[in-house]
């Protein structure tokens, strides 16, 4: 997902009991790798191989090269917010897979339009609640 807002809104729908700040912190931790994350990824690949913990169907381009394998995502989530954080991290990976599947099936333009509509729908729903 390109949009942190989309991740927030869809994760909120999937995990309504989790605080928005937890969702935001975990998503930010996953999508913004530190220099240490990059070093740790290199070490993990050397020890376990390049496919260890990789999520089938997820493209590992750009920022997803780091923090987007299952063990690391869960660890990042737990570090940020315990069990709720782990749930958010797994939801994050699932939403990234969903975006990739839409891109593969319908193309990038359609995937971006769907995401844009999701964000707009979330804003409208928030306005109705206010």
In terms of Cβ atoms closer than 10 Å to its own Cβ (0-12, 13-18, 19+), residue 47 is exposed
Contacts of 119 (CB under 8 A, 6+ apart): 3, 5, 6, 9
Q: List helix spans (H) across 57-129.
A: 70-106, 108-129
Model's pTM, two decimal places?
0.85
Q: How confident is the model at residue 121 (pLDDT cuts 50, 70, 90)?
A: low
pLDDT per residue as tens digits for the range 78-99: 999 999 999 999 999 999 999 8
């Amino acid at each position: 997902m390109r949009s942190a807002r989309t991740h927030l809104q869809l994760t909120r729908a999937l995990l309504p009991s989790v605080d928005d700040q937890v969702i935001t912190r975990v998503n930010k931790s996953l999508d913004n790798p530190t220099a240490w994350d990059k070093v740790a990824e290199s070490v993990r690949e050397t020890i376990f191989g390049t496919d260890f913990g990789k999520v089938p169907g997820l493209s590992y381009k750009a920022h997803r090269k780091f923090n987007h394998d299952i063990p690391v995502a869960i660890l990042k989530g737990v570090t940020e917010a315990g069990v709720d954080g782990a749930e958010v991290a797994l939801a994050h990976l699932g939403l990234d897979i969903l975006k990739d599947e839409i891109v593969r099936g319908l193309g990038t333009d359609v995937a971006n339009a769907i995401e844009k509509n999701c964000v707009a729908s979330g804003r409208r729903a928030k306005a109705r609640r206010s």
